[in-house]
Chain A
Amino acid sequence: MGNAIEVIGLVKRFGKATALDGLDLTVRTGEVHAFLGPNGAGKTTTIRILLGLLRKDAGEVTLLGGDPWRDATALHGRLAYVPGDVTLWPSLTGGEIIDLLARLRGDTGELKRRNELIERFGLDPAKKANAYSKGNRQKVALIAALASDAELLVFDEPTSGLDPLMEAAFRDCVNDERRGGRTVLLSSHILAEAEALADRVTIIRAGRAVETGTLAEMRHLTRTTVDAELDGPAALGDLPGVHDAVLEGTRLRCEVDNAALNEVLRRLTATGVRTLTCRPPTLEELFLRHYADQGHDEERVRVTPAP
C-alpha cells in the first residue's frame, strides 16, 4: 500500500512570518501517525493545508493520491476531521450536528454505529450546543468522525478537553480503527497519547520536521538512562557519550549515548554492580531534548495565525 499523506518541502507564509519552513511528512496507509510539536510549531497550519483550507506557498502535498487544494471536495468525501478547537452552531443539538456533519461528508449515516458511539462517550444528543462544555463539543466532533466510513481520520489535538475516562474511550476507538485498517493522523502535544497510540511519529518544531520514524527507531538515535548502585565510586565524567552524570556516594545516574553503552557497562562491572536499571527515554524526555537543545541557538520569530 502507498502513502495516505505525502508532504515534501512544504512552505507556508503569513505575511512576513513563516509558519511552515520546508516541512516533510509521510503517513503510510493504514498506520496511526502522531504529529507532535509544541504550540505554534505549525501542526494546525499543516492540517489546514491538507484540508485545502489554506493554500501552500511552495512544496508538494499529496493527500489520498490527490491535490488537497484542487480536489478538495472529492477528497473530503474520503476523510473525516476533528478540529482542535471545536465550535458548533449554538442553536443546533449535538445529535443534529453529528447527522449534519455526516451528510455534509456524503455519508449515508449508519445509525447503529452513531448511537453506539454516543453511548460510549456518554453524550446527551438532545442538548443544544450552547449548553455543551468544551469536552462535550469535542465529543460531538469525535463521534461524527468515528461514525463515518472515511478512510482517513484527521485529529487535531483531539483529547484536549476530555477527562481521563473519555480519553481512554478515545484511545480504544483509535485502536479499533487501526485494526479496521483506517489511516489516522493525530496531532498532539500530549506525549502519552502518541506513545500509547502511534505506529510512527513525526516531531515538528518551528515549521520543520526534526525527526520522524517509529518510536523504536527514534530511541535508537537517542540516549539510555542508566541508574546503578555500585560497590564503590566510579568516575565516568571523562567518557565521551556520557551526559548529566550524578554520583551520590555509590549511586550513579547518567544519560548515555547508545554508542557509548558498551564502554560504560564495562567500567561499571569493573567497579562492581549491586543493582542496575537501564531504560529507554520516555517521549517526554525525547521531546524536551529536541526543543531544549535546539531552542537556544535559533531565534524564535514565528507567528502562527489563529485558526
Chain B
Amino acid sequence: MTTAPVRPAAGTAVPRRGGPLTGVGALTKLALRRDSFMLPIWLYVVIIGVASNAFAFAKLYKSASQRASLVASGDSNAALIFLYGRLNGNSVGALTAWRYGVWGALIAALMSIFLVVRHSRGDEEAGRLELIGSARVGRQAPLASAIAVAVLANVVLIVVLSLVLPPIGLPAVGSAALALAIGTCGLAFTAVAAVTAQLTAGARAARGLAIGVLGAAFLARAVGDAAGAGGPTWLTWVLPLGWTEMLRPFAGERWWVLALPLALFAAGSWLAFGLAARRDHGAGLFPDRPGRPAASAALRGPLALAVRLQWPSLAGWAAGFAITFAVSGAAGKGIVQLVGTSGALQKEFTRLGGQSAIVNAYLSSLMLLAGIVAAAYGVSAVLRLHAEEAAGRADPVLAGSVGRVRWGLSHLIVAVAGAAVLLVVAGLAAGLGYGLSVGGAGGETARMLGAGLAQLPAALVIIGIAALAVGAVPDACVALGWIAVGLAVLLNIFGQALQLSHWVLDISPFTHAPRLPGGAVGAESLVWLCVIGIGLCALGLAALRRRDIS
C-alpha cells in the first residue's frame, strides 16, 4: 500500500486528482466502526483461548515428569496429532503451542477471511461500493481498506498475545514467536481471501473458496503430521497452518519460517490488486453458471422451497459434524492415557460427565456438545423465517394459496429434521471413530447413534423457544433465539465449573437430557422435553397466525 498517486502528464489540464488509493483512510475507519462489535469478539476468542490453555497446563501439569508422560501419550496418538499437530518438547509453552497454536491460527485465519470478504466483495455485491465508488474514492481503495482492517486486527492480536503470555509464566521470546505464528497465519489468509474475493461474483462463494483453502491447509498439515517416517511429512510445509508448527515456538524458534506467510501475504495482495484492476465492478472471474429455465417437478409448495433454500447450509454443517466427531471419537482412545497422567484432569472429567468411566464421560460430553450445536443449527434454520420475512420474500409465498401455519411449519420442519440429521451424523461419526480405534465398530456405532439422538428432545426445546420468538416477538427473535443457545452453553458446558446451583442448571433442557453412553435413560424426562418442545413450536405458529407480516 505504498503506491504513489498517479500524476497527470505534464501540460494536461486535468485538475488535481487522487490515485487508486484515495479514500483508504476514510473507508478503513468506516469498516472498523461497522466491525466494532464482532472484531473484539474474534480477538477475544483467540487471546482467551491461548491464555487459558497456558494457564491450565501450568496449573494441571506442574511437574516436568507429569508433562513428559503427557507428551509421550500425546505423541503416540494419531488422532491427537491429527487434531493438534506434533509436540515440540515438554515445557508449558510447548504444550500451549501444541494445543492452541494451530487452532488459534485457524481462528485468526477465519477472522481475516470474514473481514476481507465482508468489506470487499460483500459490500460490492450489496451495491454499497457503487455508491462509495462514485465518490472521491480510488479504484483500489475498497480492497486496500479491507486488507488494512484485517492487517490491523492481526497486528493487535500479535501485540496483545505477546504481552499477555509472559505474566502467566511463559518465556517472552517463545510468546512472541507463538503470537507471530498465529498472527502471520491470519495475514496469509488475508491475502488468500483478497484473491478469492476477486474471483467470484458472490460474497458467499468467495468466503467458501477461502475457507476451502483453509480446510485444505488444515488437512495437509494434519496428514503431514500424522504420517510417520517415510510418509508424506512434507505436506506440513506446503500451506500456512503447518508453518505455525514449523516456527517451533518455545522449542528453539526457527525465525526464518516467518518469511513464508509474509511472502504469501505480499504475493497474494499483489495478485488481488492486479485482478481487481482488470475486472469490471460487480463481476468475478468465474461467471455465474446458468441454472434451470423451469422448476423441477419437486419444487412445489413451501416445504420444498424451504428444503431447497436450506440444504446447502445443512450439508455444510453435516460435513463439519462428520469430520469433527469422527476425529474426536477416535481421540477417545487416547483420553484414558492422557487423563491418567493428571489427577486434577481426572477429577475434572468425572465431574463433567458424572460417570465413573472416563471414556463414557468423554463420549457423553461429546454428545452433549453435539446436542447443543445441533440446537444452534436448528435456531439458525428457524430464524430463516424471520430473515425471509424481513427481506420481503415471505410476501410472495403468503400471497399464494399458502396459509401462515404451512409456511411457518416449512422452515420449522427443516430445523427439527436438520438437527436430527446432525445428531445422527455426530453419533455415527463418533461411534465409528472410536469403534475403529479400539475395535468393535458395529457395537460402538449403534450405541453412539442412540446417544446422539437422545439429545434431540432437548434441542427441540431450544428450537421451540426460537419458533415462539419468531411468532410472538419478531423484532427480538434473533436475540432471543441465540440467548437460548448461549444459556445452554453457559449452563451445561461451564455450569459445573462455575459452581452454579442445581436449581439454576435445571433451567436448561440439556440438563434433563440423558448422559449417554453410560448414563441412565429417563423416559419420563424425554417425554416431557418433547411435549414442551412441541408445545413451544405450536404456540409460535399460533402467534404467527395472529400478527402482521412486516
Chain A residues near B (Cβ < 8 Å): 48, 51-55, 72-74, 76-77, 79-81, 83, 85, 87-89, 91-93, 95-101, 103-106, 124-128, 130-131, 141, 305-307
Contacts and interface: CB of A to CB of B under 8 A. Distances in A.
A305 B45 CA distance: 39
22 contacts: A53-B395, A55-B548, A72-B403, A72-B404, A73-B403, A76-B398, A81-B395, A83-B396, A89-B309, A91-B309, A93-B290, A93-B292, A96-B292, A96-B296, A99-B299, A103-B300, A104-B301, A104-B400, A104-B402, A126-B290, A306-B550, A307-B395
B299 A105 contact: no
Nearest to A14: B548
Contacts of A305: 550
Interface string B364-390: 000000000000000000000000000
Given A95-B295, A126-B292, A127-B290, 16 more contacts: A51-B399, A53-B549, A55-B547, A73-B401, A73-B403, A81-B395, A85-B392, A88-B393, A95-B291, A95-B294, A96-B296, A97-B295, A104-B397, A106-B401, A130-B125, A307-B392
A212 B391 CA distance: 33
A199 B486 CA distance: 58
A81 B396 contact: yes
Nearest to B400: A104
Contacts of B404: 72
When A and B form their complex, which 3 residue pairs have the shortest distance between CB atoms, in order from nearest?
A104-B400, A99-B295, A93-B291
Contacts of A48: 549
B400 A76 contact: yes
A58 B239 CA distance: 67
B397 A54 contact: no
A222 to B, nearest CB: 36
A52 B392 CA distance: 15
Interface string B219-262: 00000000000000000000000000000000000000000000
Interface in B164-209: 201-202
Contact of A103 (B288, B299, B392): B299
Nearest to B394: A53
Contacts of B312: 91
A149 to B, nearest CB: 12
Contact of B396 (A74, A91, A104, A126): A104
B308 interface: yes
A127 B300 contact: no
Contact of A131 (B288, B301, B393, B399): B288
B472 to A, nearest CB: 15
Contacts of B546: 55
Nearest to A93: B291
B303 to A, nearest CB: 11
A91 B396 CA distance: 16
B293 interface: yes
Interface string B515-550: 000000000000000000000000000000011111
Contact of B300 (A53, A74, A92, A100): A100
A105 B392 contact: no
Contacts of B292: 93, 95-96, 126
B70 to A, nearest CB: 48
Contacts of A73: 401-403
A49 B508 CA distance: 40
Contacts of B549: 48, 53-54
A128 B393 contact: no
A127 B398 contact: no
A202 to B, nearest CB: 21
Contacts of A53: 395, 398-399, 548-549
A87 B302 CA distance: 16
Given A77-B401, A128-B291, A100 B395 contact: no
Interface in B395-428: 395-404
A87 B294 contact: no
A96 B400 contact: no
B396 A54 contact: no
Contacts of B125: 130
B121 to A, nearest CB: 13
B68 interface: no
A167 to B, nearest CB: 22
Contacts of B201: 131
B399 A81 contact: yes
B299 A96 contact: yes
A261 B125 CA distance: 59
Nearest to B389: A53
B336 interface: no
A96 B301 contact: no
A124 B291 CA distance: 10
B332 to A, nearest CB: 39
B395 to A, nearest CB: 6
B202 A130 contact: yes
Contacts of B487: none
A69 to B, nearest CB: 10
B447 to A, nearest CB: 39
B305 interface: yes
A92 B401 contact: no
Q: Which of B391, B395, B399, B548 has the most CB of A within 10 A?
A: B399
A54 B400 contact: no
B293 A105 contact: no
A101 B550 contact: no
Contacts of A92: 291, 308
B424 to A, nearest CB: 26
A55 B404 CA distance: 13
A52 B296 CA distance: 29
B288 A127 contact: yes
A53 B400 CA distance: 11
B296 to A, nearest CB: 8
A84 to B, nearest CB: 10
Contact of B392 (A51, A74, A87): A87
Nearest to A55: B548
A91 B399 CA distance: 21
A104 B401 contact: yes
Contacts of B400: 76, 101, 104-106
A306 B549 CA distance: 11
